[in-house]
Amino acid sequence: MREIVFDTETTGFDPSTGDRIVEIGCIELLNRIPTGATFHEYINPERDMPPSAEAIHGLSAEFLADKPRFADIAEKFLEFIGDESKLVAHNAGFDMTFIDYELKKCGLVPPTRDRVIDTLTLARRKHPGGGNKLDDLCARYGIDNSRRTKHGALLDAELLAEVYAELAGGRQANLGLVATLREELSVTATVTTSRRSEQTSHLSEGEREAHRKLVTTLGEKAVWLDYLGKEKLPAAE
């Protein structure tokens, strides 16, 4: 199962009032394990940067001035996320509103909302009443977020991929499967050893001797010789 964990940074909260995406970061997962494949772009918003937004992500208008516009990276973004992969984001409605706006502005079709998984919704269901911001979830699951001095799309996507694995029960399920397999293998080995040790013969010595004589009449290639350990047999009468 292929999934894309992603995050965006923007100039504000509402694209309908002129706010734009300034950074996008994506992490590819296969069966909820990062493959190492990523998509990351800084984007020129073609407008000024409000101080309140710069304080959050640290991206200035000067830094972004020579970066590509969203229209320049839109096709590459769509190619990376594919047509069927689930899209995982924290407070996904916010990110998808901007993605929809930017893609439609380029004349492209946005991903359908049925592909989107919102980890904020998952967290609220699993931890009702608790703090469910990304930093809160990192602390809850023991995920190191010390590098997160500012919001950054790629870093936040990396952290979210770890959080998502915990929310979805992936790590616990994998560990449980390994433990179960080890237990089953141990039990199987014990039973097999026990059965082997319990397989004692109840034949009398006379019956054994009669069997040996019968085998000698079957020829040198008789299969029974293997079961008898190819021991020295008496000559056939």
Q: What positions carry a catalytic annotation?
A: 151
Alpha-carbon radius of gyration of the chain: 33
Residue 51: partners with Cβ closer than 8 Å, 6 or more residues away: none
8-32 burial: b if 16+ Cβ within 10 Å, else e:
bbbbbeebeeebbbbbbbbbbbeeb
Rounded distance, CA 215 to CA 211, Å?
A: 6
Pairing of strands 86-89, 21-30: unpaired
CA 101 to centroid of chain Cα atoms: 29
**Residue 108, φ and ψ in degrees, nearest 5:** -110, 160
3 state SS of 19: coil
Angle at which helix 134-141 crosses helix 153-167, to 10 degrees, equals 50
Share in percent of the chain as helix, strand, coil (round to 5): 50, 15, 35
The SS3 assignment for 143 reads coil
